[in-house]
Chain A
Amino acid sequence: MEAKLSKASRALNASPIQEISHLAQRCGAINLAEGFPDFPAPPHVKHAAVAAIAADLNQYRHVQGICDLLAVKMKQNHVLDFDPLTDFVICCGQSEAFAATILATIDQGDEVLIFDPAYETYESCIILAGGIPVYVPLDPPYWTLNVDKFMRSFTGRTKAVVLNSYSPHNPTGKVFSKEELEVIAAACCQMDCLAITDEVYEYITFDTHKHLSIASLPMMKERTIITSSLSKTFSVTGWRIGWACAPTAIASAIRNIHIKVTDSAPAPFQEAALAALQSPPEYFSSLKADYVAKRNFLIKMLSEVGFQVHNKPQGSVFIFAELPKTCLLSDIDFVKELIEKAGVAAVPGRGFFHGDCNDQTQQSRYVRFAFCKSNDTLSAADQKMRSCVGK
């Protein structure tokens, strides 16, 4: 009966992150592996969802107000003009927005460039659409764009480039600089490719870094599809409210796919999205401030127990730390020991590297830690890690 599976689905494998998660659960470990918060969602957003359910807003809906608010934000944040009636597609999470985008734009044999390290969800999606993922390695230790490798990755079949700067599928927390984005943009224009972005961490950026969307660079708006969601900004990863934003004809194609895949996003949470997207500026600034503090705390902890944190993340909630020089264990063995002995879970980095893009030994030297956790959780993890230093 396995012959009944489609060729594409047989090419996919089970997730290593999930296995570590199960081990962590069995050992009752503090979970710094998974990228979702253990603190509550903001009250005003939850309240709006509860009110929507009670007000009988529970049938199929398209809440146009979300698109109106997103259009305003696009203008405010990126000086980009999008038509709220035609250029947005509300989906079940950024996951669906991305899947619908891929299905809407990728044909059999189309190549899609993905920067490495990256989590495998993009690849699965592309393969299932009949496309070919092509990994472009970023240069450690700062994960900088290697222009030569990047340009040499293009062929006559390249259809799109995926930018995962603000994405959980980017374990490094690295954000492309303006100069790097300009190189990528120029290549997309010259090679007539699309850019597909995943910007779920758009409001979780640090230091002086301001979230810059490639769509705002010259000649890029007409060839960029932006995907994002409520999940990380409002700590509601389980609500499944996301969107794609693109020029009208592409958005229309994405919408057509979305309608056949899920038809609509959960109605009460669409209503709650209105409240979320109308949060005052203070909400966003304190979100950032909280996460900066958490980031700094975790960097300090990791450095002091011996990790090499070359790259201070400029966005997202992850730190991709290199194992201490004195540690001879591989990333997987280290993580298992950390769970079993220190009671702290993290993710081995090798799952984010692909093929022979990077030096093999390099690939097993990284561990990813998440800091989207309450201060109590982070303190507890800190205590446990320190008490196991020199294990």
Chain B
Amino acid sequence: MPLLSLANPSSPAGHEMLLLRSASVFRSVSRRISTVRMAAISTSGEKGASPAGQVQLPPSPPPVQVAKRLENFKTTIFTQMSLLAIKHGAINLGQGFPNFDGPEFVKEAAIEAIKEGKNQYARGYGVPELNSAIAERFKKDTGLQVNPEKEVTVTSGCTEAIAATILGLINPGDEVVLFAPFYDSYLATLSMAGAEVKSVTLCPPDFAVPLDELKSVVTKKTRAIMINTPHNPTGKMFNREELEVIASLCIENDILVFTDEVYDKLAFEAEHISIASLPGMYERTVTMNSLGKTFSLTGWKIGWAVAPPHLTWGFRQAHSFLTFSTSTPMQWAASVALRAPDTYYEELKRDYLAKKAILVEGLKAAGFIVYPSSGTYFVMVDHTPFGFENDITFCEYLITEVGVVAIPTSVFYLNPEEGKSLVRFTFCKDEHTLRAAVERMKERLHKR
């Protein structure tokens, strides 16, 4: 099966490219090979004897022995699409990472760190300067004072923070509630941990949380609720009322919250609110974030989690065996980045707002139904005016006939049907690229 590695060594390796669907290959090999083993033992006729020089070889190469936890992994449509995209020279507004680079002052800091010899293992839970910088930033953003040594842990990107949270705090059989559409690693990691997943769907046009449905889904049996705000792929931001309802459900039923806030600095139309700052919530919340989106350095893999000590402990255990420690020079650079003045963030927002305007106007002019996106660098649109059966066929057409890549969103739902009229575009690209893509769509897309 084709994998992400292409002949082009600079082809992107973003997570969206690597969703995996359980193929029959995985199902068939994930069972234990007890029958083969029994055969091997009985034919040897020498159970318990020293094997030296008396090996009875199995009759054929051993079937692959992979763990059951891979059964729910979804296969990628995106691998095929990215191949298609390159073949057709399509402009890529699908991948969720910038085609421009991070700020010089942060890159310089990393270069300095390398030259100064900061190239050996960092302390497992983070370089002290970075832990402090994270705590300071968290205080500025939420008003909460946290202990950098006991409540902040640095990880290889927010992806690892999510993995460590789930593997450190979720037991097999635990019930976890997700909001669909959801970032793909949540479901895969939850199934790795053996969790029972329930999802509540956010629907267009405003992707508001269906509060009554949420109240009926969340029970005393629920262990955790996962939130992503600002939200990928919809651009929705959880508002105060929604967060208060979630908070009261959590307090009433003693539930944890895992919140992924990597786009918090790309909050355009609303104020970003961290649920940890609501009364009674800090003690039951893991707040995750990363450097990559805010500083356009997605490949550096610097992420973190802020959580009270009793939750941090489990998180750190999982983290210590997943990666042990995080890239040292980048951590030093991150501590410099997080102390950036307010002007950096203001300029970031201004730049992204300009890009968003280009994309949104262009998508509307091309004929899409464009849903308002309050945050992130994503916009969700309805493609049905163009008459395609589903999001995947539309995206294939968009690549091959129009020369633009978007992401089909059905893979972000437990029930793919719910996403079939929606696709996601990103505007984390330079303006030239955005304008070129918009032109192609205006010229070549025809309503049916």
Contacts and interface: CB of A to CB of B under 8 A. Distances in A.
State whether these chains interact: yes
Nearest to A91: B323
B299 interface: yes
Interface residues of B, number: 105
Interface in B43-73: 44, 48, 50-58, 61-62, 64-70, 73
A49 interface: yes
Interface stretch (A134-142, A186-194, A300-308, A357-365): A186-194
B312 to A, nearest CB: 10
Interface string A238-268: 1110000001011011011101111111111
A4 B322 contact: no
B119 A41 contact: yes
Contact of A253 (B64, B170, B310): B64
A60 B299 contact: yes
B130 to A, nearest CB: 13
Interface stretch (A98-106, A290-298, A341-349): A98-106
A191 B46 CA distance: 12
Interface residues of A, number: 94
Given A1-B283, A64-B6, A107 B70 contact: no
A388 interface: no
A36 interface: yes
B404 interface: no
A151 B321 contact: no
A249 B300 contact: no
Interface string B116-139: 011111100000000000000000
Contact of B311 (A1, A8, A58, A189): A1
B326 interface: yes
Interface string A1-39: 110111111101000000000000000000000101110
B366 to A, nearest CB: 27
Nearest to B295: A58
Interface in B143-179: 156-157, 159-160, 163, 167-172
A46 interface: yes
B157 A263 contact: yes
Interface string B310-353: 11011001101111111111100000000000000000000000
Contacts of B102: 58
Interface stretch (A121-129, A315-323, A331-339): A121-129
A100 B223 CA distance: 25
B32 interface: yes
Interface in B1-40: 1, 3-7, 9-15, 18, 20, 25-26, 29, 32-34, 36-37, 40
A5 to B, nearest CB: 4
A5 B314 contact: yes
Contacts of A264: 13, 299, 301
B323 A262 contact: yes
Contact of B321 (A99, A237, A265): A99
A261 B163 contact: yes
Per CB-CB distance, the 9 closest pairs between chain A and chain B, nearest first, are A267-B299, A238-B328, A62-B13, A56-B101, A249-B64, A95-B324, A9-B317, A5-B314, A253-B66
Nearest to B18: A259
A256 B192 CA distance: 11
B333 to A, nearest CB: 9
B123 to A, nearest CB: 9
Interface in A203-229: 219, 222-223
Interface stretch (B106-114, B212-220, B260-268, B414-422): B106-114
